[in-house]
Amino acid sequence: MYGLNKKGFICESKYDVSDEPLLAALLTTGNGYMGVRGSFEEYASLRVQGAFVRGYIDEITEVCEPFADNEYMKKYYLNEEGLKTFEKQESCVNMPDFLLVRVQIGSKTFFPHEGKILKWERELDTRAAELRRKVLWDDGDGNKTELTFSRFASFERDNLYCQRVSVRPVNHSLPVRIISGVDTAVKTGGQIITRTDEARADGCDLFVSFHANNKFRFKAAYAVRNRFPAGELEQTYFENGRIGASVLCAPAAEYVLEKTTYVGTERDTEREVCEWVKEESLRYGCDYAERRAAHIKAYGEYFKPMDVQIEGDGEADGWLRFASYHTAISASRHDCVHGVAAKGLTGERYNQFVWWDCEIHQLPYFIFTAPETAKQLLLYRYRMLAQSKKNAEQLGYKGAKYAFCSSVTGEEKVWNYVRHPFMQAHINSDIPMGIINYYECTGDAAFMLEYGMEMLKECSLFWLSRVTETNGRYEILQVTGTDEHHPYVNNDAYTNYCVAFVLKRFIELCDEFNFDISGEERRELSDVASRLYLPKTASGLIPQFDGYFSLSRSLEEAGKGTLKQFQMKKSGLYHKSQVIKQPDVVLLYTLADVGLPRSSYAENWDYYEQMCETSSSLTFPVHAIASAHNRRMLSFYNYFMDALKIDVSDLHGVGWQGVHSGCLAGGYLAVIHGLFGMRANKSGLSFAPNPMPLFKKITAKIKYRNREIELRAIGNNIKLTLLKGDALAVTVESGGKANLITLKKSYEFIA
């Protein structure tokens, strides 16, 4: 049983073993460097337990036996020849479990499925990034004990994880033994792929080093420091993959263990990792209160710009904070070893590959709240540029071709038994869209000169060789858009419009930065940009791809529910239907804003909302924004709440695999883009608010070109406050008219 408590935090008020897998994902603690699923300290479950460090990758044997039982799967989805050779795949590594703490009371060991739970409270404090649990336990013989667990991944120091366990006998004086250890017997993808190199104890403290065993063989180490309650330190044990130290506690009213684990991999340092971890761990003691105070200060400063406040709707306020918390812990703040994955650091699903979601759905969140983090995500793409140029060469194209599924090398990691992801060339416009968006909103010219312009150039050169000249225009043939129900289409609208936008903007930026491209390249880029086919009917309706409107407008439905999800029956005729998996065209008006005139927005929104089945979580925030833009505020609310609760309500039934990180990032974006109508492009910053009558008051913040601005809405009254930075020209829409104002301190207007 779980939901929001009175403090607005996600809380589990009753233990139910069936909730363990889902809550393990929802209650993940992390800091962008590491993510630790919400499993219990007292035991590990292979389906629940998980500790991940960004970019700590190796190869697994991935067992897959898909079966094509309909025409769509047979013809378009599966490459059954590929299945014959597919065996190995790169994946994040599930690292040894350092959470392990066991409490023995008399002859009984505390487990939630043993004895009797008299009281159970577990909450994820999203304002402190701390997971807490309080249990009143009867051992089955009437002996009652109160156990309290607290833990966090430090924002003070990325490599540090802190735990505190309190044991308080209620009605007995039985002896208490506390064990703290590390469990190295963990699996990734159902197989053991780490090998322990060293496991030893030094009094109360532990040291474990290991390496991934198959391909990259990255080394890593833990230095665990324990502050046990007073008592007799017993012999260290190592059995069944577990190493631990234990204390038979001296009689007391309360027994407290404080445990810090310093996590390090060879990707964190140029020094020998074991020596580095040992040395660095000595900088941090076991004082939980001290480490917690430093952590909360650092986290609070980082999270403050992300923390939207909604008054008048506690559900929306609490779940939006939960969504923003998960987004905040999904991306590394201090390095570009890896990007941000579709599941963040909350599970193994999708192997923690970096997809197009990163630049279109997740990067904008950080651009407006933590631009230095956004920069790290783009620097990851720069690290992959050399390999991306090799990818293009191997395919017979110019420039660079970024991997649709990207890991740590930049090579394409799409599963070779599926067809259409290889055709999702839009990744090569998504990344440039992210670079351009970052520059427009930060003004970071140094980044553009050193990294950004080079990436834009190589992606643009790719498109020169990817387009086809036909009947006096350029076309992009045989691609798959973001809507994977329709592979191998010609002139996918999302792809074509984004490519045209990127090429035109790149040419402009070449002039702005005096960037060196040859005259021939400039002429070719200008020619393609001006003559690339941008499909649109006379009425302004944009066909998703060539022939789209000639397809059937229906698809056989199965099942019931509030979500408009179609279950593929044996007919499997997605490719013959207009039903789409997720928005393509609507993205062009929302998160991938290419400057389309708003005159045809409502027409396209009306059409494509009806055709979209929302089988991708990325649909919900896009639809929320589009609903707000078109003043359909009840629809906004429904899509907005679905975006925030995609995993809490387990709308797609796979929440236990990890949260839908891109969808959760869309909660914040739905507020600033949808409700406040914010746009930021080469023309500057503008607001065309869409009042939300269901909320009493909304307060959000953005960072824009070295400025911090607070956005506030009370009914139709909008207030912009410059919190930091120089005065700024801003366009605001009031009464249907656009007005250019200078924001010096604060400015109020009626939407």
DSSP tally for the chain: helices H, then strands E: 19, 32
Q: Which of 473, 581, 456 is nearest to 534 (CA)?
A: 473
CB-based burial label for 602 (10 Å; 0-12, 13-18, 19+): middle
**CA torsion, points 314, 320, 326, 330, in degrees to nearest 10?**
-160
CA 74/CA 346 separation, integer angstroms: 32
- Provide the terminal-to-terminal Cα distance of the chain, rounded to the nearest Å: 41
**Helix, strand, or coil here: 9?**
coil
Catalogue the E-assigned strands of 250-361: 255-265, 309-311
Say how far apart CA 709 and CA 687 lie, in whole Å: 12
Closest to 573 measured CA to CA, from 594, 595, 560, 557: 557
Q: Which of 280, 326, 293, 311 lies closest to 27 in space, CA to CA?
A: 326
- Closest of 731, 702, 734 to residue 717, by C-alpha: 734
Q: Which residues contact 186 (CB under 8 A, 6 or more apart)?
A: 44, 46, 49, 94, 95, 96, 97, 192, 194
Which of 484, 508, 524, 609 is labelled catalytic?
484
DSSP, res 449: I
Strand pairing partners for 8?
none
Give just the sign of the alpha carbon dihedral 721, 662, 650, 43.
negative
Q: What per-residue string of b and e applies to 542-556 under the rule 16 or more CB within 10 Å gives b?
A: bbbbbebeebeeebe
Which residue is listed with tokens 């559900």?
315
Check if the beta carbon of residue 338 is closer than 8 Å to that of residue 380: yes
d(CA 253, CA 231): 13
Least Cα distance to 468 among 455, 457, 479 occurs for 479
Question: Catalytic residue at 301?
Answer: no
Residue appearing with tokens 């003559």: 531
Please list the active-site residues.
Answer: 484
